[in-house]
Amino acid sequence: MSNVIAINAAARKHIADARGTSDEMLLESIAKGGRTAMHVLYSRHNVRVYRFVLRMVRDTTMAEDLVSQVFLDVWRTASQFEGRSQVSTWLLSIARFKALTALRQRKHEDIEQEDVLEIADEADTPEASLDRANTSAILRACVAKLSPAHREIINLVYYHEKSVEEAGAIIGIPQSTVKTRMFYARKQLAELLKGAGVDSLAA
């Protein structure tokens, strides 16, 4: 029994040590077959990758499947990471490629974005909850009207807080092109929001 307790304690310490490790060091360990490192990297990034993919494919089941594929690729190709970008940027690059491939394979690509259920704060009045839900729905609807290229830039820069450099690395375009797309995306989004009667978000 004491041996089992000692083994469990050692395993917990190993995981705790791994959690304090940088993404780059985790990848080095994964490249050597480190399952604990893989578990930690997955727990650290799976939600971000899932949200990124979901905004592209707009299908929860497909997004979950693609996230699994992304981390399976990481397990197989960790040794190929060259350190020219952040690990999170590399992960989103893999995710983007897989999402675009899946969209090409899907017959009906132009499926309207499903409305995300708004969970109201108990402290809200019904009117405040409705107003916030309506504003959020209008914003989603306006973003959905952007071209795929502009929608992708808004997604990366605003929802995933990627820098211009990181967004360029993920999409595979120069930083100057990212800036241009971002300028026109914001301008178009502001016009759409203004047309929908949401001037405060258009600024």
The tokens describing 145, both together, are 């009207």
17 has pLDDT over 50: yes
- When comparing pLDDT for 86 and 120, which is higher? 86
Inter-CA distances, 16 with 8, 34, 74, Å:
12, 14, 21
The tokens describing 27, both together, are 């990848």
Of 131, 132, 152, 134, nearest to 143 by C-alpha is 152
pLDDT tens-digit series, residues 131-188: 556 677 778 788 888 888 888 888 888 878 888 888 999 989 998 899 999 898 888 8
pTM: 0.60
**Mean pLDDT across 43-64:** 92
CA angle (154 as vertex; 23, 63 as ends), nearest 5: 60
> For residue 65, what pLDDT band results from cuts at 50, 70 and 90?
very high
Per the prediction, the chain carries an average pLDDT of: 79
Alpha helices in 1-116 (DSSP H): 2-19, 23-31, 35-57, 60-77, 87-105
The tokens describing 154, both together, are 């808004």
pLDDT tens-digit series, residues 162-172: 888 889 999 89
16 has pLDDT over 60: no
- Residue 19, CB-side half-sphere exposure with 13 Å CA sphere: 7
- The rounded distance, in Å, linking the Cα atoms of 21 and 35 is 14
Cβ distance 139 to 35 under 8 Å? no
3-state SS, residue 85: coil
Cβ distance 87 to 81 under 8 Å? yes
The 3-state DSSP composition of the chain as helix, strand, coil percent (nearest 5) reads 75, 0, 25
Cβ distance 185 to 146 under 8 Å? yes
3-state SS, residue 131: helix
> For residue 46, what pLDDT band results from cuts at 50, 70 and 90?
very high
- Residue 27, CB-side half-sphere exposure with 13 Å CA sphere: 19
